[in-house]
Amino acid sequence: MDAAARDLQKVDNEGHEFLVFRLGDEEYGIDILKVQEIRGYEGVTRIANAPEFIKGVTNLRGVIVPIVDLRLRFDIGSAEYTGQTVVIVLNIGNRVVGIVVDGVSDVLTLSSEQIKPAPEFGASLSTQYLTGLGSVDERMLILVDIEKLMTSEEMALVDEVV
């Protein structure tokens, strides 16, 4: 058994960790290994002709980071930014991207038995960006493949505007 196969087996046996965040009344989960840091929302520099869901860019210790509003990206309306609004800074491949969410609640470990296949939700959030639905007690988490979402054709615009 090679190292990658052992790592996969270890994840299946021990579960997988997700950072849980809120958008409106729904909870979403993303792979904790993609998260670089969590910051409070600060003003961004707007880029002309950028898609609406790209709020702008910010300078994070010398790295220009595009900031994506997931509410706008998922077409679930805009929200007033409050003290609970945070930016989750993701490290995806060679890119650093920030996503604006309503708040972060916790980190949960889900076993493969707690993750069910996702039904089709419509055009705003295609199931190709979902890893499934996580069930923890009475909570339902929408598990997003954040790497696939951020590297999708639509998000490739991020590279063009920065």
Domain membership of residue 130 as a residue range: 16-151
Predicted confidence (pLDDT) at residue 27 exceeds the cutoff of 60: yes
Q: How many domains does the chain have?
A: 1
The fraction of the chain above a pLDDT of 90, given in percent, is 51
Q: What is the CATH number of the domain that holds 106?
A: 2.40.50.180
- Cα 68 from Cα 52, distance rounded (Å): 9
Nearest partner of 98 among 126, 76, 129, 66, judged by Cα = 66
pLDDT at 125: 59
pTM of the shown model: 0.83
75 lies in some domain? yes
66 lies in some domain? yes
pLDDT per position as a tens digit, 69-120: 999 888 888 778 888 899 999 998 788 999 999 999 999 999 989 999 877 6
